[in-house]
Amino acid sequence: MARNTGPRGRVCRRLGVALSNITAKDPDKDPVLRRPYPPGQHGASARPSVSDYGQRLREKQKLKLYYGLLEAQCRKAFLEARRSPGNTGTVLLQLLERRLDVVVLRAGLATSIRQARQFVRHGYLRVDGRRTNIASYRVKVGSEVRFSPAHRELPIVKECFERMKGRQVPGYLEVLDGGQGVRCVREPERDEVPVTLNVPFIVEFYAQRV
């Protein structure tokens, strides 16, 4: 499975997205909050102007960072959203929010999109009772996602349960059995999606290129 495995701290600094916003990293150790300027020798003093194209490209790069996507995956999701009825930007986020790895992350069953994807790929999770190891699997409204009985007792899973007790989850998800599972109850609204993006810029970026 192709995936990004490079350092995220530098990317977050370049895009101005706090690493603690996309992982459970301690904000006191967040490289973006400690050094809120782009990486590199002249990052602290440079004041580069950003073109219209650069602004749209930056928003697209943020989308890929939030969801851990490759370019081909991002483009494919946009094309599907454009073919669907409704606002393209809103539909794009709804499609991405119903990816299995994203549902696991939003439910607090993992501390980052990378850990959520690892849980899925290793077969820790079941959707409606069926083992599913495809991170991009789209969870349907009404479906339940749970850890399989064979993996609930793993130390890393127990650690996630303990760390995420009392967590707040978006309104379109329902926590089951004290946090050991989650149900998708409806499509997410734009203001429930915890990503800071200028979505029209992303739509404009791809609309000019596909």
pLDDT of residue 140: 93
pLDDT of residue 196: 85
Domain 8-96+196-207, CATH among 3.40.50.300, 3.40.1390.10, 3.40.50.720, 1.10.1050.10: 1.10.1050.10
| CATH 3.10.290.10 residue window(s) in the chain | 99-186
pLDDT of residue 44: 61
pLDDT of residue 149: 84
How many Cβ atoms sit within 10 Å of the Cβ of residue 84? 14
* CATH node for 99-186: 3.10.290.10
Closest to 33 in 3D by CA, of 47, 15, 19: 19
Residues of the chain with pLDDT under 70: 1-6, 9, 18-22, 24-48, 164-166, 179
Q: What is the pTM of this model?
A: 0.86
Closest to 173 in 3D by CA, of 165, 158, 184, 164: 184
Q: 173 vs 1, 37, 79, 88, 102, CA distance in Å?
A: 27, 35, 26, 22, 12
pLDDT of residue 120: 93
